[in-house]
Amino acid sequence: MRKDPPALKPRKLPVQARSATTVEALHAATIQVLTQQGLARCTTTRIAARAGASVGSLYQYYPNRDALLAAVLARKLSGVSAAVDLACRAQQGQPIAQMAVALTRAFLAAKLHNPDESKALYAVAAQRGGAALIAQAQASMVVSIATMLASAADVHVANPAVTAEVALNTLVGSVRALLEGLMSPEVAATLETQLGALLTAYFQTHAVARAAASALARE
């Protein structure tokens, strides 16, 4: 008999205390192995060994290797999403230039806080199932950013969702280049400034000054 469609969801919820410990250890171990050995060498055996557990335990909590990797990726993505969302909420009603800078800063901080981990997870994201998680995180961030943009004090952004998405892709592109070692030191050194300026310029392109907008509306 064949297996059902291979779930990527965790297999069961830990009910005993030590379960939580094991799951946590597996998460940490996965990131370590991923970081130090790469995705190809990130085997269930190695993860379990690093976690001080047995393969059996790993499979008690995850139906397969991909599910574990997906869980680790999902957690990381949630963290980034949350950080971006937090920053966006804090900028509600501010001028658009400040928003651009704050968004850039928050995103870079979240992604670069643990660069090795972020880099290692790119490989995971490329796996089956990774795209969906990324998509979800991106969507969440687009909403946060769009909401923020719509509240800008000084300008009226014509199409916040589209603008937010393009902006996010831009940030992602640069961060990826940085993490993968493709970025020159000159750019890396001034990345935040560069991206802040870039986004500011971009946002203003797609925006109309509030005053003008109001005037238009009044006519």
Partner DNA sequence: CATGAATGAGTCTTCATTCAT
Partner DNA sequence: GATGAATGAAGACTCATTCAT
Position 6 contacts DNA (CB under 7 A)? yes
H/E stretch holding 209? strand 207-209
Quick one: which of 10, 28, 65, 129 contacts DNA (CB under 7 A)?
65
Position 60 contacts DNA (CB under 7 A)? yes
Number of other residues whose CB lies within 10 A of the CB of residue 84: 25
Positive/negative CA dihedral, 37, 31, 131, 184: negative
> CA 23 to CA 18: how far, in whole Å?
9
Between residue 13 and residue 52, which ones bind DNA under the rule CB under 7 A? 14-16, 18-19, 21-22, 40-45, 52
Position 165 contacts a copy of itself (CB under 8 A)? yes
Position 194 contacts DNA (CB under 7 A)? no
* CA dist 194 → 10, 86, 145 (Å): 41, 22, 19
**Position 156: which residue type?**
H
Q: Helix (H, G, I), strand (E, B), or coil: what is residue 207? A: strand
CB 38 within 8 A of CB 97: no
Which of the choices DNA, a copy of itself, none does residue 57 contact, using the CB cut-off of 5 to 8 A by kind?
DNA
Question: Which residue stretch of 22-30, 78-86, 91-99, 154-162 sits at the interface with a copy of itself (rule: CB under 8 A)?
Answer: 154-162
Please report how close the Cβ of residue 35 comes to DNA at its closest, in angstroms.
16
Quick one: which of 150, 172, 208, 213 contacts a copy of itself (CB under 8 A)?
172
**DSSP characters over 4-34:** PS---S-S----SHHHHHHHHHHHHHHHHHH
Sites of contact with a copy of itself (CB under 8 A): 1-2, 6, 37-41, 122-123, 126-128, 131, 134-135, 138, 142, 159, 161-162, 165-166, 169-174, 176-177, 180-184, 186-187, 190, 194-195, 197-198, 200-202, 204-206
Sites of contact with DNA (CB under 7 A): 1-3, 6, 12, 14-16, 18-19, 21-22, 40-45, 52-57, 59-61, 63-66
